Amino acid sequence: MMKRYYKHSPKKLLAVVFGVMISVSTCLASGPHLATLIKKDGGGHASGKVRYLASSKVYEIYMKNGRQQIAASKVARVVLKTQPAGLRPAIDNVKRGNYDAAIAPLKKIITDYEMFGVDVIAAQYLAEAYLKKGNSKESVRLCKEILVGNPDAINNPQFAGIYWDALLQEKKYSTLKRILKTTIENGTHQAAAVALVKRGDVLMAQKDAKAALLDGYLRTILMFQDVKAIQPEALYKAIKAHESVGEHQYAEKWRKRLLTGYSSSSYAKKLQ
């Protein structure tokens, strides 16, 4: 039967092979999407229909005057003309605790928008959904997968924070400490601030509240005051660390700062 198929159906065979080639090519690319590529180092920008070719790590952009390829390493960020329709509802489901409803849409966005920026946002909330469902192992796996294709995602504080929380829940202390040290020393200012808080969390998990304060929470409070988004968490965790070692006067100092400076934060509400 197989011999007769090859002998009498060459067109069918070519069609199958061509179909497989198209399928593989599609799997290696995301898009096209209407977007603007902002180049690094003031290199300008380019707008049009954009595809990302994962195999060669380049963006292929179709413009009125032709086609152009730009290496991903030369692109600072991608600005989509429109956000994926399913992103906001999926995020809202994660925030409401409807994790199962969010998983499939977020997976699709990660696949369809690889290296378009929103894939990292979708991965952040998908990793959070897995983590909240008690599946920290899958959360870690997902984050590692994103970082293989896009190492710069570690400088997204929200994505990195979820990844580090998952590693902490998995009790991967030595791995986590190594990653945090690298981020603190070489990451962006915002990512370093989050990494310091997470280092405090690791040390608290290891029952070393003094080190958690000195090498984590207090460094964030005192040296990263301009990173407002992380301050409420750092203050709240410093309060708890001080209380655990009987330093109530210091705990009260940070309590006042949290309640007066960040009264609307979720961490302040925990103290009210």
* CATH fold label, 2-80: SH3 type barrels. (2.30.30)
Q: What is the pLDDT of residues 206-246, one digit of tens each?
A: 999 999 999 999 999 999 999 999 999 999 999 999 999 99
pLDDT average, residue stretch 111-121 = 97
Domain ranges of the chain: 2-80, 83-170, 173-272
Q: Do domains 2-80 and 83-170 have the same CATH topology?
A: no
pLDDT for res 67: 92
Q: Burial level of 217, CB count in 10 A (0-12/13-18/19+)?
A: buried
pLDDT average, residue stretch 127-153 = 96
pLDDT for res 120: 97
pLDDT for res 224: 97
pLDDT average, residue stretch 91-118 = 97
pLDDT for res 29: 77
pLDDT at residue 141 tops 70: yes
CATH of domain 173-272: 1.25.40
Could you tell me if 258 and 234 are in contact, meaning their C-beta atoms sit under 8 angstroms apart? no
pLDDT for res 28: 65
pLDDT at residue 13 tops 80: no
Count CA atoms closer than 13 A to 209's CA, side-chain side.
12
Question: Residue 198: CB partners within 8 Å, gap ≥ 6?
Answer: 161, 164, 165, 168, 176, 180, 216
Instruction: Say what the pTM is.
Output: 0.84
Q: What is the pLDDT of residues 237-267, one digit of tens each?
A: 999 999 999 999 999 999 999 999 999 999 9
pLDDT for res 12: 52
pLDDT at residue 7 tops 50: no
Could you tell me if 2 and 14 are in contact, meaning their C-beta atoms sit under 8 angstroms apart? no
Q: Which residue has the higher pLDDT, 272 or 62?
A: 62
Q: What is the pLDDT of residues 22-59, one digit of tens each?
A: 344 444 678 899 999 999 988 899 999 999 999 999 99
pLDDT at residue 21 tops 50: no
Q: Which CATH architecture has domain 83-170?
A: Alpha Horseshoe (1.25)
